Structure 1
Amino acid sequence: MTTTLITGANRGLGLETTRRLIAAGHIVFAGMRDTAAGAGSRALGAIPLALDVTDRASVDAAVASLPELDVLVNNAGVLGASRQGTHDLDAESMQQTLDTNVVGLVRVTQACLPLLRRSAAPVIVNVASGVGWPRWLSTPVHDEFSVLGIPYAASKAAVIALTVQYAKSLPEFRVNASDPGYTATEFNGYSGHQTVEEGTDATVMLATVGPDGPTGEFHNRSGRIDY
């Protein structure tokens, strides 16, 4: 059996990824800040796990409780308080977003590496966003063009870059980033035009690749996004 840890798994894309990977035969540990919010993942057959990506002690305790690990899905993220360009931007809002979306991702990944190295086919999927893709942010035909918030875009650009660097550093792993696309979830007030199933297509595909699968790539549900 494949053992998988998904962060931010209590709702939205994380919960749907949990559902689909359990259906694919994975044992899923559903990471979330408060396991009292874990009824949905528990009903799916997942094992709720207290895990706050911004808290080193919480991360270490969660990872220490895992019996083994084959797949890590870094899904936890925040939109952040600054969403109007420079009008509501300050250093504190930038730091808060980066602490969760970037530093938190690295904190979890580093803690999980010893377990992942024991796996015969270790996989890491970092849930990024097209909002972190400069070409789409600057092209009017893309959904991302209308986004003004600076911290979230910067954090997801960093996730894509660190994915490439992790892949280079860990050639025996498959390390990739996924773009859910504009998906209707609580995260965006259910304004997206994709379903949560569509929004998890790339993440699920990348979480189930074999040792000969891609690494260091950025994918959406249509396939690889070329750099």
Structure 2
Amino acid sequence: MKKVLITGANKSIGFETSRQLLQNGYFVYLGARDLEKGTAAAEKLKAEGLTNVEAIQLDVSNSESVLAARKLIGEKTEVLDALINNAGINGGFPQSALEASIDQFKQVFETNLYGVVRVTQAFIDLLKKSPAPRIVNVSSSGSSLTLHSDPSWKYYTHKAALYPSSKAALNMYTIDLAYELRDTQFKVNAVCPGFVATDFNGHRGTGTVQEAGSRISKYVEIGEEGPTGKFIAEEYNSETGETPW
């Protein structure tokens, strides 16, 4: 049975992705900053008959928490087949490039970029033991420099200084990570789940968590012929998903 760790998985897109991968035969380590909420989410999935799930306390912004999670999971399995870096924060709104404080930038980058680096580096040894390891960094088409500089793009006026810049940095990390792992069986991609109605955006999105979970799961389950080092946003490009950086 393949095993996957999903950060920020106790609600919304992370939770739905957990459900879909459980339905597809994976064992899910459900990462949650608050273990009580993570346990409640895992119990909800078990009540649906999806029993191969375990809640793990994991605060991606805290190095000690990440290392503790690595130790715990390492005691349960020698191999991790997939990592979904889903945990993220939006930083609150408005996000003015002229008025947002350095502390606000640091807070968002601590989770959205540094958190991904922490978790990836902590679990890479377990991933390397899988015959077909996959890493999905949950990104956003709103971090595309190309799209945000194009006045004809439908979200051109939706500017925010904090969240998109953190995800643009995450995209660059994804490129570097895929490059370093280019001669292995790893597939590493940045995937946008779409503009989904969740607590994250005050339910202003137009997509569903089911669509989002499907988009993320797809790149966990891709075969040897699948892409790596790509920025995928199927809401933007319904044919190949590949999106301009």
Question: Structure 2 length normalisation: TM-score?
Answer: 0.88
Identity of aligned residues (%): 39
Query: 1:22 corresponds to which letter in structure 2?
Result: L
TM-superposed CA distance for 1:87, in Å, is 5.3
Sort the Cα spacing of 1:151 and 1:81 in 2 relative to 1 into closer, same or farther, 3 A. Answer: same
User: How many residues get paired?
Assistant: 227
Query: Quick one: distance in 1 between partners of 2:104 and 2:9?
Result: 24
Query: Quick one: distance in 1 between partners of 2:204 and 2:161?
Result: 20
Query: 1:15 corresponds to which letter in structure 2?
Result: F
Q: Is the 8 A contact 2:17 2:213 kept in 1?
A: yes
Question: Structure 1 length normalisation: TM-score?
Answer: 0.94
- Note the residue ranges of structure 1 that are not aligned, 5 or more in a row: none
Aligned to 2:20: 20
Query: Quick one: distance in 2 between partners of 1:120 and 1:92?
Result: 41
Higher mean C-alpha displacement, 120-129 vs 213-222: 213-222
Q: Does 1:180 align with 2:187?
A: no
- Select which of 96, 102, 105 maps to 2:107: 96
Sort the Cα spacing of 1:27 and 1:150 in 2 relative to 1 into closer, same or farther, 3 A. Answer: same
Aligned to 1:224, the other structure's residue is in SS state coil
- Note the residue ranges of structure 2 that are not aligned, 5 or more in a row: 46-50
Matched ranges for 1:1-227 at <5 A: 1-38=1-38, 39-44=40-45, 45=51, 46-66=53-73, 67=77, 68-81=79-92, 83-86=94-97, 88-171=99-182, 172=184, 173-221=186-234, 222=238, 223-227=241-245
Query: Quick one: distance in 2 between partners of 1:98 and 1:144?
Result: 22
Query: 1:10 corresponds to which letter in structure 2?
Result: N
Query: Quick one: distance in 1 between partners of 2:25 and 2:144?
Result: 32
Q: Is the 8 A contact 2:95 2:162 kept in 1?
A: no
Q: Is the 8 A contact 2:82 2:135 kept in 1?
A: yes
